Every structure is written in structure tokens, then in C-alpha cells.
Amino acid sequence: MVAMEERGYRFRFYPTPAQSDLLTRTFGCVRLVYNLGLQARREAWEQRQKTLGYGASSGLLTSWKKTVEYGFLNEVSSLPLRQALRHLATAYQRFFAGKCRYPRFKSRKKSRRSAEFTASAFTYRPGELRLAKLMDAPLDVVWSRPLPEGVVPSTVTVSQDRASRWFVSLRCKAPAATAPAVGEMVGIDAGLNRLLTFSTGEPVENPRQERRERTRLARAQRELARKEKGSRNREKARVRVARVHVRVADRRRDMWHQVTTRLVRENQVLVIEDLAVRNMLKNHRLARAISDASWGLFRTLLEYKATEYGRTLIAVPRWYPSSRLCSHCGVRAEKMDLSVREWTCTGCDSRHDRDVNAARNILAAGLAVTACGADVGPQRGTTSRAGDRR
């Protein structure tokens, strides 16, 4: 029997003016219903020490629709509104479980513009998607890849990003991905001069996506600063700034997807460093370059793809002195400045490329942990200090 798993498929689409208008109003109604539900729950507890569940909140939605003040809620599909109340109930459950903080009201300017349609609120056929209240014409979706044969979405989420681009996400149960086992192993060292260096000696150059768009971004931000607050021209300028940001983010995500997919397809064991990126961003000289490298996104993608492909991913502790250990004899060098890219081992006179040597040590440390649970501290030499990792 083929194993099934929850998967999401995201596509861009281009709505007609009528579809755009209705979906925009749906976003506003979803946000309003969420805020009304949150306010009702707060008042019920503060005034009567009672809790409102999803059932009671759903009943309130029906009464809100009958009022003059909120009668416009009848103009959009009711299913996304009820989903907003379900999301609120989930937020409370997660709060009481200690997994997140207390739910907050959604802001019109800052909250994500999205609406979730359940199975009875959309019609899907391969290559065609219609939503409730918009059944007269299908959405103009760019089907960049087909859904697995026989798969039907359970929910459809429509969203709009800060750059005014429209997306539709289809959640469905699809066959779990499988991949044949391979015998290769690789250690991966992250850096800034080279984005990644593999234990095989192969580098991945740093494209510096944000630096490439820095001039265009500065120009767009200056234009935004000159616009009057609250004006239509300011909103147009804000969208132009957002488009520069999403262009950088899209290029960066596409590059990391290509790199991580190749890694998990070609290697059975992958060993990386457990980098504390948030702490590294406190270095104000390197914070911008570290943010542009987006090592956190790399690890996130690599982790879920390794699980999907049945690969083994090992994270070596961040204080392991991978750059200063000789990968040939294990002798540990003295403290080494980041500007030193090559060095010679005093124990065996081997000449090392700093990044390649670090990647080989990372691989060896990861394999030692896997094989026998060995400690990944330095084999020889002086004791490592916390600040001397590199």
C-alpha cells in the first residue's frame, strides 16, 4: 500500500477585475470575523468567566450577518469566514498548550491577506479551479506542475503578497515521495565568500542577491519616502519597493531549492554545521551579508527534503573547530582570523584550503557521531574556547 502524506501545491494566478474585487473583500471580511470572534471570546471571559468554542462563535457569525452594521458579510462566501473562526479556535488551543502566545487582533496593513476555502466552497478539475461566488469563470491559474494523478485538494487558500501578486495553495493528500538509496556522503561548510563548500572540494559561489538589487531598492525607497502618507501614489511606491524585495527573495529561494534538491538526490548522508544564525546577526559588520546568504532557509529546505527522500541529515555542534583542525593528521592550529583562506598544518605540512578542510572535518565528525556516538571535540592540541570556533 502506498503511503500518503499531506502536501501543498502553490501556484500563481491572475484574477479578473471582478474576481480581484470579490477576493479583496473576502480578505477584509475574514480579518473582521477573526477580530470579532477574538473580541467576543475576551469579553465572555472578562465579564462572565466563560469560554466560547468554535460552535458558539459560529452561532455569533450568523447573528452578525443579520445586523445592519455587518450585513455586508453576506456578500462573500461563508466558508472562509467559518475557517477564520476555526483558525482562532486553533490559536487558543496552541496558546493553552504553551506553543504560542495569546492571539492578537489582525491589522489591515500588517496581517497576511488570505482566505481558506474548504471542499464545499470550490470546484476542482485538472487544469481548472472555481471558487464559491465566482463559479461563472475559473481562476486563471498558471499550472506550473500537475497535481499527482487522482489527487483532489481538501482545501484551497487564496492569498495576496505585499507586491500585489496572487497565489493559490492547494492542500491535498498525495503519495509520499520515494528515492533510491545511494552510497555517497557529503560534508557541507557554509560561508560568505563561498556560499557552500562540499567535502569533495566543490564550491557553490555566493550570488549575493540583495547586493545586486541594492541600487534599485534604494531608489525605490527614496521615491516612497517622498510620497504623502495615505495617498494612492504612496501605495504604488510601496508596491514598487515590495517588488524589489520579492524579486530578491524569489531568486534566493529558487537557488536554494536547486542546491538542496541536488544534494539529497546525490547523497545518502549529509552533514552540516548547527549554526546559530540569530546570534551571528548581532555582528553588525556581517549582518547584512549573513541575511543575504539565508542559511536558515537552506537548513529548513534541506531538513524537509532529507526526510522526504529518506536521507540522513546530521548537524555538528556549532563550537566544533572545523576550520582549524587538519583533516589529514588531526592537529589543531592556533586561532585563525577569518581573512586567512589557506593555511599549512604544522604537524604534517599539508596545505589546506580553509573551507574544503572545514567541510571534510564536518563530514568526519558527523560520521563519528553516527557510527559510535563519539564526541566531536578536537582530537589533539589545546582545549577549544567558545569564541575560537574559527
- Confidence band (pLDDT; 50, 70, 90) for 378? very low
Ramachandran angles phi, psi of 73, nearest 5° = -65, -20
Annotated catalytic residue: which of 116, 210, 273, 292? 273
Question: What is residue 32's predicted lDDT score, i.e. its pLDDT?
Answer: 96
Tell me the mean pLDDT in the region 177-190: 87
| Statement: residue 121 has pLDDT above 80 | yes
Ramachandran angles phi, psi of 259, nearest 5° = -65, -50
- Confidence band (pLDDT; 50, 70, 90) for 372? low
Could you give the count of Cα atoms lying within 13 Å of 302 in the half-sphere of its Cβ?
A: 27
Note whether 336 and 324 are within 8 A (CB).
yes
Whose CA is closest to 148, among 118, 179, 178, 175? 175
Question: What is residue 1's predicted lDDT score, i.e. its pLDDT?
Answer: 55
Cell numbers standing for residue 355 = 573551507
Question: What is residue 144's predicted lDDT score, i.e. its pLDDT?
Answer: 92
**Whole-angstrom distance, CA of residue 66 vs CA of residue 76:** 14
Largest CA distance in the chain: 85
Question: What is residue 309's predicted lDDT score, i.e. its pLDDT?
Answer: 87
| Statement: residue 116 has pLDDT above 50 | yes
Q: pLDDT (tens digit, 9 = 90+) per residue, 47-64?
A: 988 888 899 999 999 999
The residue type of 201 is G
Q: pLDDT (tens digit, 9 = 90+) per residue, 324-369?
A: 888 888 788 877 777 778 878 877 878 888 888 889 999 988 888 7
User: Considering the chain, what percentage of its residues have pLDDT values greater than 90?
Assistant: 63
Question: What is residue 334's predicted lDDT score, i.e. its pLDDT?
Answer: 78
Cell numbers standing for residue 272 = 552540516
| Statement: residue 377 has pLDDT above 50 | no
- Confidence band (pLDDT; 50, 70, 90) for 218? very high
Q: What's the predicted TM-score (pTM) here?
A: 0.82
**Whole-angstrom distance, CA of residue 174 vs CA of residue 250:** 25
Lowest mean pLDDT among 38-42, 90-94, 272-276, 320-324: 320-324
Question: What is residue 384's predicted lDDT score, i.e. its pLDDT?
Answer: 35
Does residue 189 have an active-site annotation? yes
Cell numbers standing for residue 389 = 570556533
- Confidence band (pLDDT; 50, 70, 90) for 179? confident
Burial of 93 (0-12, 13-18, 19+ CB in 10 A): exposed
Annotated catalytic residue: which of 116, 210, 292, 355? 355
A 10 A CB-CB count for 362 gives: 30
190 strand-pairing partners: 196
- Confidence band (pLDDT; 50, 70, 90) for 371? low
Does residue 349 have an active-site annotation? no
Question: What is residue 383's predicted lDDT score, i.e. its pLDDT?
Answer: 35
Note whether 306 and 264 are within 8 A (CB).
yes
Q: pLDDT (tens digit, 9 = 90+) per residue, 133-160?
A: 998 899 999 999 888 888 899 999 999 9
Sequential DSSP letters for 4-39: EEEEEEEEEE---HHHHHHHHHHHHHHHHHHHHHHH
**Whole-angstrom distance, CA of residue 340 vs CA of residue 360:** 18
Average model confidence (pLDDT) across the chain:
88
Lowest mean pLDDT among 52-56, 77-81, 158-162, 221-225: 52-56
How is domain 179-206+248-390 classified at the CATH fold level? Nucleotidyltransferase; domain 5 (3.30.420)
Question: CATH 3.30.420: which residues of the chain?
Answer: 179-206+248-390
Tell me the mean pLDDT in the region 117-143: 93
| Statement: residue 373 has pLDDT above 60 | no
**Whole-angstrom distance, CA of residue 360 vs CA of residue 182:** 19
Annotated catalytic residue: which of 116, 189, 210, 292? 189
**Whole-angstrom distance, CA of residue 285 vs CA of residue 193:** 14
Does residue 355 have an active-site annotation? yes
